[in-house]
């Protein structure tokens, strides 16, 4: 009688070990998946912040260029080679002596490339000796940028 009982307990122990190994493997797989997703989210957030920072830097540079000479139609790329992405600024006429300053910045690596677009309206003075002035706050396109 004892011999039969020991054998059945050994089978139950093997089943219990198999269940525990399966449970441990499932938890490990889920934990690994969460770690990879968190890393991807961190890279995407970093790319978004870099694009916003680059757009703000490009906007400051473009606003300075616009204040110095308002006759340029396209300001081009942000000067320098060490930026973490690309940034281009352009001036678009709106009519009624108004201009739109638009800055487009792209940062990050695929598949986490982020784009940030800043726009601001400027008015041209009637007297050419005066400098243009911003008439609207900086707007972020596509819902990006700081939340109020």
Residue-by-residue DSSP string for 120-140: EEEE--SSTTSPPEE-S--EE
Has residue 148 been placed in a domain? no
pLDDT greater than 70 at residue 6 = no
Q: Using one digit for the tens of pLDDT, what is the confidence trace for 50-104? A: 888 888 888 888 888 877 776 655 677 777 777 778 888 888 888 888 888 889 9
133 contacts 68 by C-beta, under 8 angstroms = no
What was the pLDDT predicted at 74?
60
Residue-by-residue DSSP string for 52-92: HHHHHHHHHHHHHHHHH-TT-SEEEEPS-S--SEEEEEEEE
Has residue 28 been placed in a domain? yes
**What does the block give as tokens for 12?**
């139950």
Average pLDDT over residues 40-53: 90
pLDDT greater than 80 at residue 18 = yes
Residue-number span of the structural domain to which 38 is assigned: 2-143
Per the model's pLDDT, the better-predicted residue between 138 and 17 turns out to be: 17
Average pLDDT over residues 104-118: 87
Has residue 11 been placed in a domain? yes
Q: What is the dihedral of CA 132, 138, 142, 146, to 10 degrees?
A: 160
Has residue 101 been placed in a domain? yes
**What does the block give as tokens for 42?**
């961190």
Our count of domains for the chain comes to 1
């Amino acid at each position: 009688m004892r011999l039969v009982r020991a054998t059945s307990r050994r089978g139950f122990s093997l089943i219990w070990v198999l269940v525990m190994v399966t449970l441990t493997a499932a938890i490990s797989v889920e934990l690994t998946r969460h770690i990879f997703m968190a890393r991807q989210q961190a890279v995407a957030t970093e790319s978004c912040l870099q694009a916003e920072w680059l757009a703000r830097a490009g906007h400051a540079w473009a606003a300075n260029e616009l204040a110095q000479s308002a006759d340029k139609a396209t300001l081009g790329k942000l000067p320098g080679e060490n930026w973490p992405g690309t940034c281009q600024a352009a001036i678009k006429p709106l009519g009624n002596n108004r201009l739109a300053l638009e800055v487009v910045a792209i940062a990050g690596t695929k598949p986490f490339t982020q784009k940030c677009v800043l726009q601001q309206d400027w008015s041209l003075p009637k007297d050419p000796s005066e400098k243009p002035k911003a008439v609207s706050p900086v707007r972020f396109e596509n819902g990006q940028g700081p939340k109020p």
